[in-house]
Amino acid sequence: MQVVSISSLKGGVGKTSVTLGLASAALAAGIPTLVIDLDPHADATTGLGVKPSHQTDIGRLLKNARKADLAQNAAPSGWVGAAESGPSTSSGRKVLDVAVGSAYSGIYDRPDLSRRDLRRLSTVLSRVNGYSLVLIDCPPSLNGLTRMAWTASNRVLLVAEPSLFSVAGTERTMRAIDLFREEFAPDLKTAGVVANRVRPSSNEHNYRLGEMKTMFGDLLLSPTIVEQANWQQIQGAAHSVHQWPGESARQAASLFDDLLKNITDSGRMRSRALRRQPS
C-alpha cells in the first residue's frame, strides 16, 4: 500500500484538485484507492461526491485511533457508479473510498502535537487492508494534521503554482520535510513537485517554471497541470474528470494518468538526498 500526502504550505494552489485528479486516474486504472480528507474544510469529500451517511469522520476516528475502524467508516465515492457503468480500461470491481473530512479534525491542527499524537493516523491506517493507494489531502499549513499525514506516508507530493510566492513557499516546505524526516520519519520520500494551473502562453508562468526547474531539478514532475477553464464546473458537479465529456477534460484526464504513473513508478521514488547531488 503506497501512502502519498498531497501538501503545500499555501492554500488555493490546487492540493485538493490534484488529489481529485489522481483519484480519478486511479479509479479509471482500476487501482483500489482510499482518499483521506484531512483538511477540516472537507473539500475533497464534497468533490468526490460522498453522500453523508452513517460514517464517522476522520477527525473522530483519529481521536479514538486505537479502536477506530476506518474500513467500516470509509464511504464510497459517488464517482464509482458512473465508472462501473462507463467504458473501462480495467476489469473487476472499482474501489474508490473516502475517509470523510469534517471540521472536527481541526482539533489536531496545532503546531505542538506530541509524538504520540503524530502517530494517530498511522495507527488508524495500520488496520486497513485492500487498497493499493492511499491519497491524503492535507490542509494548507505545516501544523499537526500535515505532520500527522507525513508520519503515515511513504511520500509527499508538493503542489505549487508557477508564481513567486508559491515557488518560495514550496522551497520552505521542502526544508520542512527535510527537518521532519531527520526527526520523525527517516523513510519519508519526496515524490516531487507538481506545477498546477499553468498557462502555457504566459511569459510569467514560463519564467517561474524555469526557476522551479533550477530549484527542484528532477523533482519537478512531468507533466505540469494546465489551467482548465471548466475545472470549477467539473468539481462543482462532484464529477470525475475522466467522466466529464469534451476534449479539454480528456486532455486533463490524460495529464493525471501520466502524473499518477510518475509518482507511483518506483523509478521516481527518489529521496531528497538524490536531488542534492551536483548535476
Ligand X SMILES: Nc1ncnc2c1ncn2[C@@H]1O[C@H](COP(=O)(O)OP(=O)(O)O)[C@@H](O)[C@H]1O
Tell me which of 3, 13, 27, 177 binds ligand X, using CB under 6 A: 13
Sequence-separated (6 or more) residues with CB below 8 Å from residue 15: 6, 7, 8, 39, 137, 138, 140, 159
- Closer CB to Mg ion, 14 or 162, in the complex: 14
Under 8 Å between Cβ of 11 and 231: no
- Cβ 139 to ligand X, closest distance in Å? 8
Across the chain, which distance is largest between two alpha carbons, in Å?
53
Instruction: Return the ∠ at Cα 38 (arms to 32 and 42), rounded to 5°.
Output: 95
- Based on the shown chain and the rule CB under 6 A, indicate whether residue 12 belongs to the binding site for ligand X: yes
In whole angstroms, give the CA distance from residue 119 to residue 112: 14
Part in contact with Mg ion (CB under 5 A); list of ranges 35-43, 69-77, 174-182, 258-266? 35-43
> For residue 223, is the peptide bond before it cis, meaning its omega torsion is within 30 degrees of 0?
yes
- Based on the shown chain and the rule CB under 5 A, indicate whether residue 16 belongs to the binding site for Mg ion: yes
Site track 36-75 with ligand X (rule: CB under 6 A), x = hit: -------x--------------------------------
Site track 215-234 with ligand X (rule: CB under 6 A), x = hit: ----------x-xx--xx--
Interacting partner of 197 out of Mg ion, ligand X, none (Cβ under 5 to 8 A depending on kind): ligand X
In whole angstroms, give the CA distance from residue 8 to residue 141: 7
Contacts with Mg ion, residue ranges (CB under 5 A):
15-16, 43
Contacts with ligand X, residue ranges (CB under 6 A):
8, 11-17, 43, 140, 196-197, 225, 227-228, 231-232, 235
